[in-house]
Chains A and B, each alone.
Chain A
């Protein structure tokens, strides 16, 4: 524990990076995953198949391999993303490592987001959409007014699981040059081998706090949007 306390700002910085990775790739994966889900339930057969292939491929690939693609294979093809290092956002420079990790996490998590959204849409009872059509709503209206509001509620629990998995998956970035929580924990343990249990617990607690915050906020949202059935 002492080792963590003496370098507490490093600990906080590491978790700030973990949270940063989570927020950016979480948001991007929600967007990209929802687009994929629209393809998946939409009427265009080809997009349907393409999204299904994407989901199968990325769901069955270990995240580490996607990281290897982004960090080791893509630079060979000429995509090393170093151009982002000239950008400056709110006084911070963006690192190419961060961009690569975010892309890898987004590509991977989107597949799961897509499945969660799709299962939410499928969870809406058939009669709802039929009733919508029966009273003369167009497709867009029945989606907007009838199906999606119910689907969104059904999506919250599986989506929370996906996002919590993402919090934990950001740790894979440690193997590819990001000084986030696990990499920092490894470096600290390397220098203070006698305090390894304390260091492990300190970092575990950090993760548990993040996971609990995500899960409690999802429960709060769920309670807020709950309707009597």
Chain B
């Protein structure tokens, strides 16, 4: 049992009590589910016509190609650019030169503290509206790149700091230059530590593509609207679209877990706080 830390092996009395709790909670939960299904039924939400679009090929194609594929494309581009952005700024934050370090710090902290939606609206007004050069698709990609890139910059920084200090000392001792130490000693070891955090950031990016809804970008949330406006099936549409998001995210999480097992072992995940650390750099607790 996962919670074995907190409990003694229960005696017969406790086992009996837990059984009563289980029965009660089972009843309560099934009551809840039954109530939800009954409400759906009562409001006519289980009628076949409302679900029909999700079994007719034309709409399935529309949802998968105009919705899921666009969402995945947005997430893919954002993550690729964000990794590059994060790598550049993460390394810049560790630079020995204050001229490089402070601007990088400012950029990273700024984009981490500002909501993605605010960035998106700004990018939309700056680059897309009227006769702007970019579509709202790319506004979503730009804002997600800036936000996730800044988060990844912190991940990279923490990951590089998590490499034992003896590694870089040894590298300097055999006469390597700073860039060599970074490129051939620190980064290869750090990537191993960071990979799970990078993949879970992908889940965040994928979920955040849905915010494009507010600036009329394509994607899964955007394809839902015409469907429920035409068929008046708000509830089934919301359920189907959510299920798609959850399925894709679960696949990504599964990959993250596999990668973590493969490369990091059972070690704990890298903890990266949302805003700048007040603590000293080297001693920052990397749980």
- A: residues with CB less than 8 A from B are 41-48, 50, 56-57, 60-65, 68-69, 72-73, 76-78, 121-124, 126, 129, 133, 139, 142-143, 147, 157-158, 160-161, 164-165, 167-172, 174-175, 181-182, 185-186, 189-190, 193, 196-197, 200, 203-204, 207-208, 211-212, 215, 219
Contacts and interface: CB of A to CB of B under 8 A. Distances in A.
B275 A43 contact: no
Contacts of A207: 113-115, 118
Interface stretch (B85-93, B171-179, B181-189, B242-250): B242-250
B47 to A, nearest CB: 12
Given A46-B22, A65-B241, A126-B5, A164 B249 contact: no
Contacts of B241: 65, 68
Nearest to B32: A50
Contacts of B213: 64, 175
Contacts of A143: 6
Given A185-B118, A203-B118, A212 B7 contact: no
B26 interface: yes
Interface in B9-55: 10, 14, 18, 21-22, 25-26, 29, 39-40, 43, 45
Contact of A129 (B5, B22, B209, B221): B5
Contact of A41 (B3, B45, B126, B287): B3
A196 B119 CA distance: 12
Contact of A68 (B45, B238, B253): B238
A68 B8 CA distance: 45
Nearest to A181: B118
A217 to B, nearest CB: 12
B101 interface: no
Given A61-B245, A77-B39, A189-B121, A139 B7 contact: yes
Contact of A196 (B2, B39, B122): B122
A121 B5 CA distance: 10
Nearest to A41: B3
Interface residues of B, number: 60
A170 B116 CA distance: 11
Nearest to A208: B113
Given A68-B238, A76-B234, A174-B214, 19 more contacts: A41-B3, A41-B6, A44-B22, A46-B22, A47-B21, A68-B224, A68-B241, A69-B238, A72-B234, A78-B43, A129-B5, A143-B6, A147-B6, A164-B275, A171-B118, A182-B115, A189-B121, A207-B118, A208-B114
Contacts of A133: 8
B242 to A, nearest CB: 5
A72 B238 contact: yes
Given A44-B25, A45-B22, A62-B207, A204 B275 contact: no
A69 B2 CA distance: 33
A64 B210 contact: yes
B271 interface: yes
Contacts of B209: 62
B206 to A, nearest CB: 8
Contacts of B275: 164, 211-212, 215
Given A43-B18, A139-B7, A171 B273 contact: no
Given A62-B208, A77-B43, A158-B271, A56 B10 contact: no
Nearest to A214: B275
Contacts of B72: none
Contact of B117 (A129, A142, A182, A212): A182
A129 B213 CA distance: 48
Nearest to A196: B125
B227 interface: no
A164 B126 CA distance: 27
Contacts of B211: 62, 64, 172, 175
A200 B43 CA distance: 44
A76 B43 contact: yes
B203 interface: yes
